[in-house]
Structure 1
Amino acid sequence: MPLFRSPTRCIPVALSVTLSLAVLSTTVAAQGVRTADPRASLKGGVKDAQQAIKHLELVSSTPKVEGWFNPRDLGDFGFANSDLAFQKHLVFQGGWHGWQAWDISDPKAPKRRAAVVCQGGQGDPSVYGNLLFVSVEDGGGRLDCGTQGVSDTVSAARFMGVRIFDISNLDAPKQIAAVQTCRGSHTHTLVTDPKDKANVYVYVQGTGGVRSPNELAGCVRSPDDTSTALFRIEVIKVPLASPQDAKVVNMPRIFADASGKVAGLWKGGDHGRGTQNSDRTDQCHDITAYPDIGLAAGACSGNGILLDISNPANPKRIDEVIDPNFAYWHSATFSNDGQTVLFTDEWGGGTQARCRATDKPEWGADAIFTLDVNRKLKPAGSYKLPAAQGSTENCVAHNGSLIPVPGRDIMAQAWYQGGISVFDFTNPAKPQEIAYFDRGPIDPSRITLAGFWSVYWYNGHLIGSEIARGLDIFTLQPSEFLSKNEIDAAKLITRDELNAQLQTKIVWPAHFSVARAYVDQLQRDKGLSESRISAVRGALDAAEQSSGGPRRTALTALATSLVQDVAASGDAVKVRLLSGVVRELAK
C-alpha cells in the first residue's frame, strides 16, 4: 500500500547479515530475472494495453464508474482503488474516494451494488457480519464523510482512525462508529477470538505523523517521552451486540526491548555497504492474524515480527527479524500449517519502478521464513516477480493470498503494474512461478500510479483490485505446474467471508478431487512409481463409480495398500495424506 516515503528485508537479529545475504542471493540467482519474458516489452495504454497471460483466464474486467476516476489524470491518488474484502457474493473495494460493493454472483458481469463517498486515505476495508470497517489516515478525512476536507490545523471535524459502517441494509449503509487514533489507520486487522463470540478486535496500524494533543487527547509526539504515540499499535474492541460502543482498549508496546524501552527494535539506517536503508521501527504497516494457531505476523518498517495473540486484546512479541535487503516491511502471509511466513518488501513505497532489469532481484521482493520448534523465524528463501518491467511501471511486491491447493503452498500476489504472479513456495528455498497476468504501462511516457493493488483467491476465482482501471476476475487453468484435480480441490473451499489480514485454517473435505490432487503431486514429484500411480488412479475411478458397501470395501483396501507404500515412497508425508483422505471417503 503506497507510502509517501522511501521505505527494508529480513534475518533473525541474532544471525549474521552475511548469512542472510548468502541464503537469499543464492535463491534469487537460481530463480533469475527473465528479460526475454513476454511481460518485459508490452505495449502501453489505458484500455488498449497489450496483455500477457499464462495459465490464467481473464473472466471479466470491470472499468471504473463515472465519478470514481479523474478523466484528466487516471493516476490521481484521490480516486485510486485499494484493497478488497469479501462476503458471500459481494466484494468490498476500498479507495481514496470511498468504498464500493460489487455483486459478483455472475463473475463474467459484476454489478455495482453500493457506493459510499467517504474520503480519508486509502480506505482499506474488512467485513464481519453486518459491519464494514474502513481505515482512515489522511488528515483531510472528516467525521461526517464530507468531501470539503479539513482546513484548520486543529479541528474537531477531523477523523483519523477506523470507521465502522452498518451494512445490514446495503441500499443505505450507515456509519455507526468512528474510533479516533493518534496516527490514524493506514491499515487495520480484523481479529477474532475462538474463545470470545461476543466481540471482535481490530489492530490499528498507523504510519502517519502523530496528531496534536490539542485535537486528540493523549497524542504525544516526542519519541523520547515514555507515553509517546509512536512505537505501538492500538487494539479496538468491538462488542457485536453494540458496535457503536467500539473503543480502544489497549496500546501494546510490541517493539519494546527486554528492559521495557519502547524503541527496542531497528533504529533506522542501512546494514552496511550494498544494503537497503530502512526507517526505524516505530510502526507496523500490516499485521496478519491467524487466530486458529494463536499467532500473528507483523510487517513493521525495519523489522518482521511474530506475535502471540492467544489473548487478542494483548498481543505479545515472541520473535523479530531483520533483512539487509528490505527497505520497508509491508505485509505477511502464513502457510496454512503456520510453519512458513512470507513477508513482502515495498521498496519505493509502491509508486516507483522497482522491477527493472537493472534492479537487484533481492530488493522489493518476498522473504520467506520458517518457524522452528521454539517459534523462531529462520530465513529460508526469496521470491521476486521473474519478469523485468519498464521504467514507467510502478512495480514492487504487494498484497496476495494463498490458493487452497491441498498439499502445497501456492500464493497469488499483486505487483502493481508488474501484474499478478501465482507461485508455489512449498519448498521455500525454490519458489516457482506457475501462472501470471500483466498489462503494459498505463502511460508509456511517464510513471503513473496504476496496476494491481491486491489479488485474492475467493471461492474459486482470483479477484484483483486494479488501482486505475477497476476490478478484474480470473480463473486458474490447468498446466504442467497445476493439474485440473488440484484446481478442483481448491474450489471445494468456500467461505462466507474473507479478510486479507485474517487467515483462517483451511480444512479440505474428504473428496475424490482431493485424493486425485495428491496423486497428481506424487506423480509430478516422483513420489511413487508410474505403475503404482496408474494403479491408484484406477482404484479411485472404480470406487467412485460404485456405491454403498462395494465402494467402502474398495476404498478401505486402497487406503490399506497406500500405508504399505509409505516406506518405499519418495514423499511419505504425501502418501499418508492420500491414505487419510481415502480412508475418510470409505466412511
Structure 2
Amino acid sequence: MSTLTTPRSRWRTRTLAAAGAVFLGISMMSATTAVADPMPTDPREGLSAGLYDAGVAASGVEHLATLQKTAGLSTNSDIAFKDDMAIVGNYNGIQFYDVSNPSAPELVSILNCPGSQNDVSVVGNLLFMSVESTAARLDCVPGSSAPVFRGVRVFDISNVTNPVQVAAVQTCRGSHTHTVLQDPDDTENIYIYVSGTAGVRSAEQLAGCSNETAEAANPSRWRIEVIKVPVANPAAAAVVTESRLFADATTGRVDGLQNGPTAESPRHPSGANYSPSPNTNACHDITVYPEIGLAAGACQGNGILIDISDPANPKRIDAVADPNFSYWHSATFNNDGTKVIFTDEWGGGGGAYCQPIHQSNWGANGIFDIVDGKLKFASYYKIPNVQTNRENCVAHNGSLVPVPGRDIMVQAWYQGGMSVFDFTDSANPKEIAFFDRGPISATANASGGFWSTYWYNGNIYGSELTRGFDSFKLTPSAFLTENELAAAAEVSSTQTNVQGQAHFEHEPSFALAKALVDQAERAGTLTGDALAETRLQIALAEELSADPLNEPATLAALAKAAEAAGEGTDASNALIALAGKLSGGSIPVEATVPQAADGSLALTVADFGDGVSLSQAENAGDRFVFEGELPDLTVTDSRNARQAGDGGWAVAGRSTDLTSVGGSVEAANLGWSPVVKTPRAGLAAGPESVVELDGGQGLARTSRLAHATADGRMGSATLGAGLFLHLPVNTDPGTYSGALTVSLFPVD
C-alpha cells in the first residue's frame, strides 16, 4: 500500500532561497485559456431545479451517497480528514462523519460552536477551527457573557462525541481560514498560518490591534499571524510571529503589493467594479508543502510564493498579479512541486459567473509553472459556461487526485458542481470528469453548491453549502482507466488537510505498472504486438504471484513484460521495480564525490545482508575509479524435474541512475565483474560489464550475473560480483544514491 509522506528534503528551498530576490510579475491576458470542451448538448445544461430533488448530470463520476444537513446548522464550509472520519466545518459548528463505508457515510456527532467560517484542520487528536464572526464567544455560546472570540480554536477530539476546547488564540482580524504546517524538522510543535480578512478589532477588545494605515508603526493589516502550538502542551498555543509577507523589499512599506484596482485596469474586464477588490492586505488561503519547503499564498490581489524553511518566519520569494483576477482565493501545488494553481473567487462566491456571457478567464483558475523559483503563467481553466443566472458559480476549493504520472485535480465550483481536470500539460488543461446538480431554485437566487470537493483514500467527498455532505467515486472512462484509478486508490493517508499538502508516492505494484502501460498506450508510445505482449506477461505474472512457489516464473514474466514495454520507459522501470520488490533483491547504492581538490572518491553501499566492503577510489587519469564487493547472493533450487523441465535459471541485475542534490550520474557508469563462489559444472558467471567511458552501457541495461543449465541448477549456489564505478574527473561533488535490482528467473 502506498502512503502519503513528508520527507525531510529541503533541496528546493535552499535553491530558491539562494536566489535572494523578490519580483512582482504580471500574468498576461493573451495567454492560453482552457475550457472543457462541452458535448454538442452538455448534459449539465437545463437541469431541473430543486433543493434535494434537482436534476443531476455526471460523467466519469458515480454519486454514492448524500446526507442532508441537520436542522439547526448553517452554511457548510471546509473538510479535514482523520482515519475513517470526515470533519466538516459549518458556520454553526462542526460535523463528524464516519466514512469507513463511502457508500453509506454516517453522521457521528455535531459540535455546536457558532463562529463562521469554522474552517477546520486536524493533527492527531487536535482539531483547529477558524473563527471571525463578531458574534462568536469564547465559550461557543452565542449571546453569553463570555468574551468575544475571533481567532483559532483548538479542540481535543480524542472523543469526537465530546470535543474539549483546550486553547483559543485571539487575533486582531479573526481567522477567515488557517493553514496547519507540520515541519519535518520540528516535530515538537505545530505551526498555524492565520489568514484574517475581517475588520480590525479595537485595542480595547484586544490589546495591540491597530486599524491604522500602512505608514503607522504596526498596523494589523498587511500581515499574517503565525501561531505555534506545542504538541505536548497545546494549551500554550500563542502567536509567535506577525509576518509582513506583502512588504516592499526596497522601501520597506508593508503594503508593497497590489492595493486595489490599478490605473491600467480600474475596472474588471467585464466592465463592472472588481468584487471583491484586489487589495492585498491579507491572504485568503495559504497552502504549505513542507516536502519542498514552499507555500503558495492566494492573497486577495496577488498570488505569492513563500519560503517556509523557517516555519515561524515565512518569506515571500515571488508574487504575481492578473487584471482578470478579482480575488486570489486558494492555491494547490502539483505533486512534484513544479506547478501551482491559483483560484479566482470573483464575486466572493455569491455571483452567478459561469454564464455564457462570462469569459472563460474570469472567475477561473490560473495555472503557473514554478521556474527557477518564479511563478510563470501557463494557462487558465474554467468549467464550461452552461450554468444559469440563478446559480452561484466560480472557482473554489479542490485537491489533487493521485493518479501516477499525471497532474489531476478535483475542484468545487459552488452550484457549478464538481469538475475533475488534467493539468499535466500546464498550458492545456482538460476536463476529464464532472458532477453537477440543477439550481436550488429556478426563480430566485439561492446560494448553494459545493464549497469543497476533496479526494481521500480512494473516494471524493463534497461539502455542500446548503444540501449537506456527499460521497463519490471516479469511474473508468476514455480519460481515466480502471488501472489508473486502482493505482490512485493505493495511495492512503491517516490524515489530510488539503491546505497542508503531503507528497504522495506510489510503491511498486501491479496496478501501478498497468496504469503506466495504459498511459503509454494513450500517448501512442506503446502499441501493437509490444503492447499486447506487455499486457499478456503482466497478466501472467499477476496470476502467478498469488502463490509464492511461483516466484521464479512470476519474475520471468515480469522480465518479459519489461522488455516488451521498452527499455527505460516508465512502464518498464515500474515492472523492474516490482520484480525487485517481489524478489526482495533491491540493493541500495550510494557514492560520494567530495569537494577535495585531489578529486578522491569513496563508494559505499548501504547495509544489505552482510553488507559491502569498499576500497578507496583511485584517480586513473581520465576517470575516478572505486571498487567494492556485492553482498553474497545465494540461489537455492529444489524443483523437481517436472517443475523445471529441461531448464535452469539465471540471475540478472540492473541499476537506477545515481542521483544527488545537484545532479545525477547515469547507471551506465556502474558495472560489475560477476563470480560464482561455488563453482560446478553447468553453472557459469555472466560477463564483466563495459561502462560508458569504455563505450558500453554498464548496469543501465539488464546484465546477467550468473546462469545455470539443467545440469547445474540443483542445490545452492553462491554468487557475488566486484562492483565498480567509473566517473569522469569533472563529476560534480555530492552524494549520489541509487538502487541495484537483482532478480532470479527460470529459463527454458
Q: What TM-score comes out, normalization by structure 1 length?
A: 0.90
Specify the SS of the correspondent of 1:196: coil
Note if 1:112 corresponds to 2:104: no
Given that 2:561 and 2:575 are in contact with CA atoms closer than 8 Å, whether structure 1 keeps it comes out as no
Distance 1:211 1:228 in 2: 11
Pick closer, same or farther for the CA change 1:519–1:582 going to 2, 3 Å.
Answer: farther
Distance 1:504 1:192 in 2: 10
Offset of residue 478 of structure 1: 0.3
- Equivalent residue number for residue 554 of structure 1: 557
- Equivalent residue number for residue 257 of structure 2: 265
One of 376, 379, 385 as aligned partner of 2:377: 379
Distance 1:189 1:575 in 2: 39
- Equivalent residue number for residue 30 of structure 2: 22
Distance 1:106 1:537 in 2: 32
- Equivalent residue number for residue 390 of structure 1: 388
- Mapping of 1:263-342 within 5 angstroms? 263-270=255-262, 271-272=264-265, 275=269, 277=274, 278-342=277-341
- Mapping of 1:572-587 within 5 angstroms? 576=573, 580=577, 584-585=581-582, 587=584
1:264 aligned partner, one-letter code: G
Pick closer, same or farther for the CA change 1:293–1:577 going to 2, 3 Å.
Answer: farther
- Equivalent residue number for residue 367 of structure 2: 368
- Equivalent residue number for residue 236 of structure 2: 245
One of 48, 51, 59 as aligned partner of 1:54: 59
Offset of residue 32 of structure 1: 5.5
Pick closer, same or farther for the CA change 1:157–1:475 going to 2, 3 Å.
Answer: same
Could you list the per-position Cα deviations for residues 481-535 of structure 1 after superposition, in whole angstroms to 9, with x for gaps in the alignment?
0000000001101110111201001011110000000000110111223322212
- Equivalent residue number for residue 412 of structure 2: 414
Structure 2 unaligned regions, length at least 5: 1-21, 545-549, 585-748
Distance 2:364 2:326 in 1: 10
Specify the SS of the correspondent of 1:126: strand
Distance 1:103 1:562 in 2: 42
Distance 1:32 1:13 in 2: 35
Offset of residue 67 of structure 1: 2.6
2:255 aligned partner, one-letter code: A
Given that 1:558 and 1:582 are in contact with CA atoms closer than 8 Å, whether structure 2 keeps it comes out as no
- Equivalent residue number for residue 440 of structure 2: 442
Note if 1:211 corresponds to 2:201: yes
- Equivalent residue number for residue 140 of structure 1: 135
- Equivalent residue number for residue 191 of structure 2: 201
Specify the SS of the correspondent of 1:520: helix
- Mapping of 1:515-534 within 5 angstroms? 515-534=513-532
Could you list the per-position Cα deviations for residues 73-132 of structure 1 after superposition, in whole angstroms to 9, with x for gaps in the alignment?
xxxxxx011110111111111011111101112222222111111011110001111111
- Equivalent residue number for residue 654 of structure 2: none
Given that 2:531 and 2:564 are in contact with CA atoms closer than 8 Å, whether structure 1 keeps it comes out as no
Given that 1:93 and 1:101 are in contact with CA atoms closer than 8 Å, whether structure 2 keeps it comes out as yes
Aligned residues: 549
Distance 1:512 1:173 in 2: 42
One of 110, 120, 123 as aligned partner of 1:128: 123
Specify the SS of the correspondent of 2:316: strand
Offset of residue 226 of structure 1: 2.9
2:246 aligned partner, one-letter code: F
Note if 1:169 corresponds to 2:169: no
- Mapping of 1:64-143 within 5 angstroms? 64-68=69-73, 79-143=74-138
- Equivalent residue number for residue 541 of structure 1: 539
Which stretch shows the higher mean deviation, 427-436 or 577-586?
577-586
2:206 aligned partner, one-letter code: L
Distance 1:293 1:527 in 2: 31
Distance 2:26 2:111 in 1: 50
Given that 1:543 and 1:554 are in contact with CA atoms closer than 8 Å, whether structure 2 keeps it comes out as yes
Structure 1 unaligned regions, length at least 5: 1-11, 69-78, 151-155, 567-571
Specify the SS of the correspondent of 1:22: coil
Specify the SS of the correspondent of 1:83: strand
- Equivalent residue number for residue 485 of structure 2: 487
Specify the SS of the correspondent of 2:100: coil
Given that 2:534 and 2:564 are in contact with CA atoms closer than 8 Å, whether structure 1 keeps it comes out as no
Distance 1:366 1:578 in 2: 36
- Equivalent residue number for residue 246 of structure 2: 255
Distance 2:134 2:224 in 1: 19
Could you list the per-position Cα deviations for residues 456-492 of structure 1 after superposition, in whole angstroms to 9, with x for gaps in the alignment?
0111110000111110000111000000000000110
Structure with a larger share of its residues in strand: 2
Distance 2:62 2:566 in 1: 38
Greater gyration radius? 2
Note if 1:221 corresponds to 2:211: yes
Pick closer, same or farther for the CA change 1:149–1:519 going to 2, 3 Å.
Answer: farther
Given that 2:36 and 2:431 are in contact with CA atoms closer than 8 Å, whether structure 1 keeps it comes out as no
Specify the SS of the correspondent of 2:187: strand
Given that 2:195 and 2:224 are in contact with CA atoms closer than 8 Å, whether structure 1 keeps it comes out as yes
Given that 1:301 and 1:328 are in contact with CA atoms closer than 8 Å, whether structure 2 keeps it comes out as yes
1:446 aligned partner, one-letter code: A
Distance 1:380 1:310 in 2: 26
Distance 2:447 2:179 in 1: 25
Given that 1:298 and 1:305 are in contact with CA atoms closer than 8 Å, whether structure 2 keeps it comes out as yes
1:41 aligned partner, one-letter code: G
Offset of residue 549 of structure 1: 2.4
Given that 2:421 and 2:429 are in contact with CA atoms closer than 8 Å, whether structure 1 keeps it comes out as yes
- Equivalent residue number for residue 659 of structure 2: none
Specify the SS of the correspondent of 1:58: strand
Distance 1:91 1:490 in 2: 19
Q: What TM-score comes out, normalization by structure 2 length?
A: 0.71
Given that 2:23 and 2:318 are in contact with CA atoms closer than 8 Å, whether structure 1 keeps it comes out as no
One of 15, 38, 49 as aligned partner of 1:44: 49
Specify the SS of the correspondent of 2:346: coil
Given that 2:531 and 2:565 are in contact with CA atoms closer than 8 Å, whether structure 1 keeps it comes out as no
Task: State the structure with bigger RCO (CA 8 A, min sep 6), 1 or 2.
Answer: 1
2:406 aligned partner, one-letter code: R
2:501 aligned partner, one-letter code: Q
Distance 1:181 1:38 in 2: 46
Distance 1:364 1:312 in 2: 31
Percent identity over the alignment? 49
2:361 aligned partner, one-letter code: E
Offset of residue 193 of structure 1: 0.6
Which stretch shows the higher mean deviation, 267-276 or 51-60?
267-276
Pick closer, same or farther for the CA change 1:417–1:274 going to 2, 3 Å.
Answer: closer
Offset of residue 299 of structure 1: 0.1
Distance 2:484 2:226 in 1: 39
RMSD: 1.9
Distance 2:508 2:193 in 1: 35
4+ residue runs of structure 1 moved beyond 4 angstroms? 12-17, 30-35, 560-563, 572-586
Distance 2:130 2:575 in 1: 43
Distance 1:295 1:122 in 2: 26
Distance 1:574 1:416 in 2: 38
